[in-house]
Amino acid sequence: MSEIKTDLVDVQIDGAWHQFPKGMRMIEACRQAGVEVPHYCYHPKLTSPGNCRMCLVEMGMPPRPAPGADAPAPDENGHLPIAWMPRPVIACANTIGPNMGIRTTGPLTEECRKGVMELLLANHPLDCPICDQAGECSLQEFSVEHGKGESRFRERKVKKPKNVAVGPRIRLDDERCIMCSRCIRFTDEIADDPVLGFTDRGSHTVLTVYPGRELANNYSLNTVDICPVGALTSNDFRFQMRVWFMRETNTIDTNCATGCNITVFARENKIYRITPRQNNDVNSDWMPDSHRLNFHWIESESRLTDPLVKDGDHHRLASWSEALATAADKLSALDGSEIAVIASARMTNEELLIVNRLVKHLKAGHVDTVARVGEADGYLISADRNPNTNGVKLVLGLENPGSQNEAIKAGIEQGRIKAVIALQENLVDDAGFTPELLGKLDFLLSTYPLANATADASDVVLPGASWAEKSGTMINATGRLQRLNKAVDAPGQTLEPWEIVRDLIQATGGGNGIYAVTDLFKQLAADVSEFSGLTWGQIGDLGVPLIETGVTIPLLEREKQRIASGLIVG
């Protein structure tokens, strides 16, 4: 078999023969063969120092014949007999070779794992009841699977620093640390901010931050995710909720055009934390802290919960039907050229499709979105801080999103534009429309999750759901179509933006048979050529490449180089 494909080698894992590319790590071969090798220090995106010793397995190679003796004969499948080595090897740093045998079960590996677990637990505090990692802790899991169940250690445990603030967002508990060095390697290899290291020796080894420095880079919270125990915990999530209570929703980050894949952890309609989700074509295993922590506003006091209609100087509560009827009255009295629709590049493709229909239905003369440009950080954050600019170009058909803002302002100033429909955008704070300018309008309708200066100037204010409360698809900077999934329910009478736009079309005399966001996706597949043939289910959790943009993600490019040079598995 191995003669035909020269780059593949035969490897026997727990008695069954498999074929893997030569040079693959043993642990990765085992994983692909469906055999889990317990490990702490190994991480496919980081180098393998092999210091936790948890992944020890038995290894064997064909015996080398003694001088003069005959070489062993292969069996009918071409496999040579395996001579097992008397001592175990680590699976994370050793690579596979032809006709290699790996045994992950058996008395030797079991004794090794038991021994490693006993030593790791010798100094580990038994504070699982207050540890945030409990429930997703490798040490807990492996001590159940491979541990002894009781401690023979009668001496006093080593005292180490506890509750140390190593950075503005991270707390370190050195007693819980098992010295796997994942965080040290992450800050060194991925974040290029090597501030962590080990000091002291033996059982007194402690993880410390370099004197005078702190773990403050914008990717620091990833160390909390990769910490296999509760040594590094997030200040933001600290003691907020036990992990087993939370429901996980796979969705995407909407803070920039990269669209990092994330998991939202929520319980009883409250989001507690966000963690990156592995997608090797978007964000690898990481995400920036600034994006990860930008979710508390969803619970803000200033969330809009009901439609509001302006009565004189003040807004009053209204029903959806009344608010929409008010809007329809005002809009139908105007000519299309007097209406401007300002949509948002934070909207999903489905929402943009129905906005496009609204524009056509009202024959609106002006359409634009608001551009958000920041600085790319050379890792994951894109300079375009809108998550779906490519969607705006593709679905709404704008060639240069954001370029018409000034023209619309001038139109309002000159009185040519009499009504503005601002969808999910805060015109005053984000697009530079002054309240005085908006005051010149005959009619301003705005939808947004939060009350703000634009809402204050609006004649009709409609509560539109935030990114965590709606589903849809977005196209990231590299042209990948990804799915946004609803994680929590929106407060009060809030509706998803596509529902608001649909109802607005219906209130102004239009009609359509759209009742679910998936219906809109079917329309997209029918209307926009790039989407043709795609279904909602096909996009899946990891998305699909949709268009070519030529944009690359710097962190991923570096990761590819590291994989190519054999530093990491990837």
Partner 1 sequence: MAIIVQRPKLKWWEHLYLPGIITGMRVTLGHFFSILSGRTKVTMQYPEEKWDSHLPEHYRGAPALVTDEHGRERCVACQLCEFICPPRAITIKPEEIPSDDKWAKVEKRPRAFDIDMIRCIYCGLCEEVCPEQAIFLRKDYAITGTSRAEMVHDKTRLYEIGGVREGLVNKWNELK
What is the closest distance, in whole angstroms, from the C-beta atom of residue 383 to partner 1 in the complex? Answer: 38
Distance CA 87, CA 119 (A): 19
Look at residues 449, 391, 452, 443 and name the one whose alpha carbon lies nearest to residue 423.
Answer: 449
What is the closest distance, in whole angstroms, from the C-beta atom of residue 176 to partner 1 in the complex? Answer: 12
Residue with smaller CB distance to partner 1, 167 or 411: 167
What is the closest distance, in whole angstroms, from the C-beta atom of residue 239 to partner 1 in the complex? Answer: 5
What is the closest distance, in whole angstroms, from the C-beta atom of residue 115 to partner 1 in the complex? Answer: 23
Q: Please report, in angstroms and rounded to a whole number, the separation of the first and last CA atoms in the chain.
A: 27
What is the closest distance, in whole angstroms, from the C-beta atom of residue 200 to partner 1 in the complex? Answer: 20
What is the closest distance, in whole angstroms, from the C-beta atom of residue 214 to partner 1 in the complex? Answer: 18
What is the closest distance, in whole angstroms, from the C-beta atom of residue 395 to partner 1 in the complex? Answer: 43
Residue with smaller CB distance to partner 1, 71 or 165: 165
Residue located via tokens 């702190």: 214
For 247, which DSSP code? E
- Measured CA to CA in angstroms, residue 469 lies from 74, 101, 181, 497, 555 at distances of 61, 51, 38, 10, 29
In degrees and rounded to multiples of 5, residue 247 shows phi and psi of -95, 135
Of the listed pieces 237-245, 497-505, 508-516, 559-567, which binds partner 1 according to CB under 8 A?
237-245
Task: Say whether residue 363 binds partner 1 (CB under 8 A).
Answer: no
Residue with smaller CB distance to partner 1, 242 or 522: 242
What is the closest distance, in whole angstroms, from the C-beta atom of residue 210 to partner 1 in the complex? Answer: 24
Of the listed pieces 209-217, 236-244, 333-341, 540-548, which binds partner 1 according to CB under 8 A?
236-244
Distance CA 473, CA 517 (A): 10
Task: Say whether residue 240 binds partner 1 (CB under 8 A).
Answer: yes
Distance CA 16, CA 101 (A): 9
With H, G, I as helix, E, B as strand and everything else as coil, classify residue 562.
Answer: helix
Among 84, 153, 210, 239, the residue binding partner 1 under the rule CB under 8 A is 239
Among 148, 213, 238, 560, the residue binding partner 1 under the rule CB under 8 A is 238
Give Dmax (Cα) for the chain.
Answer: 106
How many helices and strands in the chain, by DSSP H and E?
A: 17, 24
What is the closest distance, in whole angstroms, from the C-beta atom of residue 257 to partner 1 in the complex? Answer: 36
CB atoms under 10 Å from CB of 302, counted, come to 10
For residues 475 and 388, the answer to whether their CB atoms sit within 8 Å is yes
For 135, which DSSP code? T
What is the closest distance, in whole angstroms, from the C-beta atom of residue 523 to partner 1 in the complex? Answer: 42
Name which of residues 99 to 138 contact partner 1 (CB under 8 A): 125-126, 128-130, 134
Task: Say whether residue 522 binds partner 1 (CB under 8 A).
Answer: no
What is the closest distance, in whole angstroms, from the C-beta atom of residue 485 to partner 1 in the complex? Answer: 26
Task: Say whether residue 526 binds partner 1 (CB under 8 A).
Answer: no
Of the listed pieces 43-51, 68-76, 240-248, 386-394, which binds partner 1 according to CB under 8 A?
240-248
Name which of residues 152 to 181 contact partner 1 (CB under 8 A): 156-157, 162-163
Distance CA 131, CA 176 (A): 9
Tokens of 432: 């530079």
What is the closest distance, in whole angstroms, from the C-beta atom of residue 235 to partner 1 in the complex? Answer: 9
Residue with smaller CB distance to partner 1, 121 or 568: 121
For residues 419 and 334, the answer to whether their CB atoms sit within 8 Å is yes
Residue with smaller CB distance to partner 1, 243 or 293: 243
Distance CA 508, CA 361 (A): 9
Residue with smaller CB distance to partner 1, 239 or 515: 239
For residues 98 and 9, the answer to whether their CB atoms sit within 8 Å is yes
Task: Say whether residue 242 binds partner 1 (CB under 8 A).
Answer: yes
What is the closest distance, in whole angstroms, from the C-beta atom of residue 130 to partner 1 in the complex? Answer: 4
Among 86, 244, 313, 509, the residue binding partner 1 under the rule CB under 8 A is 244
Q: Are strands 56-61 and 89-90 parallel, antiparallel or unpaired?
A: antiparallel
Distance from chain centroid for Cα 568: 21
3-state secondary structure 57-74: EEEEECCCCCCCCCCCCC
Size of the site for partner 1 (CB under 8 A): 17
What is the closest distance, in whole angstroms, from the C-beta atom of residue 488 to partner 1 in the complex? Answer: 19
| Paired strand residues for 448 | 463
Residue with smaller CB distance to partner 1, 242 or 440: 242
Burial 142-156 (b: 16+ CB within 10 A, else e): bbeebbeeeeeeeee
Residue with smaller CB distance to partner 1, 131 or 423: 131
Residue with smaller CB distance to partner 1, 67 or 129: 129
Tokens of 354: 């129905």
In degrees and rounded to multiples of 5, residue 129 shows phi and psi of -60, -25
Residue with smaller CB distance to partner 1, 245 or 297: 245
Name which of residues 51 to 110 contact partner 1 (CB under 8 A): none
Among 84, 210, 245, 297, the residue binding partner 1 under the rule CB under 8 A is 245
Residue with smaller CB distance to partner 1, 83 or 130: 130
* Angle at which helices 320-332 and 497-507 cross, to 10°: 60
With H, G, I as helix, E, B as strand and everything else as coil, classify residue 424.
Answer: coil
Residue with smaller CB distance to partner 1, 123 or 217: 123
Distance CA 501, CA 424 (A): 11
Positive/negative CA dihedral, 311, 315, 317, 323? positive
Residue with smaller CB distance to partner 1, 129 or 537: 129
Residue with smaller CB distance to partner 1, 5 or 204: 204
Residues forming the site for partner 1 (CB under 8 A) = 125-126, 128-130, 134, 156-157, 162-163, 238-242, 244-245
